Amino acid sequence: MLRNTLLGLCILLPALVQSATAPLQTTAEKSGFVETGRYDEVIQLCNDFQKAYPKAVRCMEFGRTPENRPMLALLASRSGVLNAEDAKAKKIPALLIQGGIHAGEIDGKDAGFLALREALDAPEDKSWLKQQVLVFIPVFNIDGHERFAAWNRPNQRGPEQMGWRTTAQNFNLNRDYVKADSPEMQSMLRLVNEWDPIVYIDLHVTDGAKFRHDVSIQIEPVNGGDSELRRAGLALKNGVLAELESKGSLPLGFYPSFNINDDPSSGFTDGVAPPRFSTGYFYLRNRFGMLVETHSWKDYPTRVRITRDTINSMLRLTAEHGREWQTIAEQADARSRAKIGQKETLDYTVTDKVRTINFLGYEYSRTLSDVSGQLMTHYDESKPQLWKLPLKDDIIAGQSETMPAAYIVPPAYAALISAKLKQHGIEFSTLDKTIAKANTETFRADTAKQASQSVESHQRLTVTGEWKAEPTDIKSGSLYIPLNQAKSKLIMALFEAKAPDSLLGWGFFNNSFEQKEYMEDYVAEEIAREMMAKDPALAAAFKKKVAEDAEFAKDPQARLNFFYRLHTSWDEEFNKYPVMRLLEAL
């Protein structure tokens, strides 16, 4: 640990010496990276950078938090362009770097200010900022940042005090990209829609065990998404890993979380995150999402140094390849528009194929604890050890669905869903007339099960069933969401019933899967007898099901519902997903 501290300080020393009299230094730099500053320092530095570099930096507010704090971004470029409209017109790529989505994991804020100052102080003709616009958000979860205390991250070494994981409304912003409940995420998506960054970098500090690797880098598309973007994403990922290794880091290309908590021998599983996370969200927009996780048991100077090195690597790579990535992304956008009628992957899974990797750990023992009563792992950081561990990283496509021509949202849900579509920058229109017997598909759930407890303020819903042809009148006032647009993958992630983070899965339509009207049992008994008396075939079918289906036979409600479902009083809207698929464009 001492070696890491000295290495971190030695590499940061030039910046510390320079900043001894510089006005743009942070509390972290002043304290030798023992402390981190409060949010008022971010406000001050944002304005001070703009004053110090008026032609190259703009400090902008892009939203307000629930506790009314300003959400600030620093726009930095030596291209002469500091607004999104001109950047798009001149095809200047934007690189968005975000710190403090979990405000206890605050390395990105201090490393970002340091990297920004170094980039701005470089000779202008050699500056990486000539070929890009950097959109730097020092702190995303600002209200959480100001819930400031020691031990907010008990399994992390430094700084002395830090912010809190969740927002003032107790949202985990790193679960909110696709559902976008929080005001903070809604503001972030407006900024993303405005700038359309080619790469979105999400800076974190991982939890977990004690080992020698000091940072993990994950990028999508690499394992999921558009095939050409995957190739570019893999080259990008390998480039960052190689550069970090050349700087003395011990990087990983997957998230190092044990398959069995606290048991190193269980190894790891790689995968593609669902779109509640940044890396699972941006590949659906045909853009690169990058997750950086420094290791919590490295000290703060070391983690800041590694994060700064990562930012510098991305600034250099974006300067060299940003326009090329934009071209590939534009081609991916065109391919996304052309996939109507083809199968589209909704999620990814990992096969049972295992390979053994060398992993840089420490000597450890596992003993039964007299406190918790369970096996606990104890690491000896004075004794490096090479672990040979299993890794599952054979990632394949999971569920898929055919891409329809459009989705239809009925008027009753138009206000709710149109707001979500606007948040994600998705094109749609509102129909001004009724369309009779349209060629639609409907999803009626065979089973619908709500989670036993809420997640991120939602009662999640799991359904089984299939889409089936069901010509339907489309009412005036319905939303028409065509798939012939660049964000078609994201649209399917929002509206496919069985997609992992669909709006249905997050419980936005739970009312449709709750039975509101009912038939009293004594009435159902009478009707059942009447129906069997009139229809011997129905009576025979009922008796056969009782004889052959033990679960059905012992469930009184299921037996009565056998008849209730065939009665004219049955609610045909129950367990029907309100969103429809349209097979032909209007």
Q: How confident is the model at residue 571 (pLDDT cuts 50, 70, 90)?
A: confident
pLDDT per residue as tens digits for the range 347-385: 999 999 999 999 999 999 999 999 999 999 999 999 999
Same-domain pairing of 28 and 82: yes
* Residue 323 token pair: 């326009």
Q: How confident is the model at residue 73 (pLDDT cuts 50, 70, 90)?
A: very high
pLDDT per residue as tens digits for the range 311-342: 999 999 999 999 999 999 999 999 999 999 99
In a domain, 459, yes or no: yes
Same-domain pairing of 417 and 544: no
Same-domain pairing of 377 and 506: no
Question: 507 near 461, Cβ under 8 Å?
Answer: yes
Same-domain pairing of 416 and 391: no
Per-residue pLDDT at 17:
44
Per-residue pLDDT at 150:
97
Per-residue pLDDT at 19:
41
Q: Is the pLDDT of residue 451 over 50?
A: yes
CATH number, residue 198: 3.40.630.10
Same-domain pairing of 375 and 481: no
Per-residue pLDDT at 23:
80
Backbone angles phi, psi at 463, to 5 degrees: -125, 155
197 closest CA partner among 372, 19, 303, 73 = 73
Give residue 171's domain range. 2-337
403 closest CA partner among 326, 355, 336 = 336
In a domain, 413, yes or no: yes
Per-residue pLDDT at 10:
54
Per-residue pLDDT at 20:
39
Q: Is the pLDDT of residue 163 over 70?
A: yes
Question: 320 near 351, Cβ under 8 Å?
Answer: no
Same-domain pairing of 501 and 378: no
Per-residue pLDDT at 376:
96
Q: What is the mean pLDDT of residues 206-224?
A: 96
The CA-based diameter of the chain, rounded to the nearest angstrom, is 96
Residues near 9 by beta carbon (within 8 Å), at least 6 away in sequence: 16, 32, 33, 301
Same-domain pairing of 114 and 226: yes
In a domain, 295, yes or no: yes
Q: Is the pLDDT of residue 412 over 50?
A: yes
pLDDT per residue as tens digits for the range 456-500: 999 999 999 999 999 999 999 999 999 999 999 999 999 999 999
Q: Is the pLDDT of residue 3 over 70?
A: no
Per-residue pLDDT at 14:
52
Angle at 424 between CA 415 and CA 506, to 5 degrees: 70
Q: How confident is the model at residue 208 (pLDDT cuts 50, 70, 90)?
A: confident
Question: Position 279: which residue type?
Answer: T
563 closest CA partner among 540, 520, 586, 529 = 529
Per-residue pLDDT at 8:
52
Taking the CB of residue 240, how many other CB atoms lie within 10 A of it? 23
Same-domain pairing of 430 and 548: no
Tokens 């006032």 -> residue:
477
- What 3-state class would DSSP assign to 232? helix
Per-residue pLDDT at 134:
98
Gap between the Cα atoms of 402 and 362, Å rounded: 48
How many percent of the chain have pLDDT more than 70? Answer: 96
Q: Is the pLDDT of residue 229 over 80?
A: yes
Question: 355 near 388, Cβ under 8 Å?
Answer: no
Q: What is the mean pLDDT of residues 125-133?
A: 95
Same-domain pairing of 114 and 199: yes
What is the average pLDDT value for the chain, to the nearest integer?
95
Same-domain pairing of 136 and 25: yes
In a domain, 349, yes or no: no
Q: What is the mean pLDDT of residues 135-163?
A: 97
In a domain, 569, yes or no: no
Strand-pairing partners, residue 512, are: none
Same-domain pairing of 461 and 555: no
311 closest CA partner among 132, 481, 549, 187 = 132
In a domain, 42, yes or no: yes
Q: What is the mean pLDDT of residues 121-135?
A: 95
Structural domains of the chain, count = 4
Same-domain pairing of 240 and 276: yes
Q: How confident is the model at residue 37 (pLDDT cuts 50, 70, 90)?
A: very high
Per-residue pLDDT at 552:
96
Domain end point (choices 382, 397, 412): 397
Q: Is the pLDDT of residue 248 over 90?
A: yes
In a domain, 510, yes or no: yes
In a domain, 195, yes or no: yes
437 torsion bin: left (phi>0), alpha (psi -120 to 50), beta (else): left
Q: Sign of the C-alpha dihedral, residues 176, 292, 87, 280?
A: negative
Q: What is the mean pLDDT of residues 547-551?
A: 96
- Considering just the CA atoms, what is the radius of gyration of the chain in Å? 27
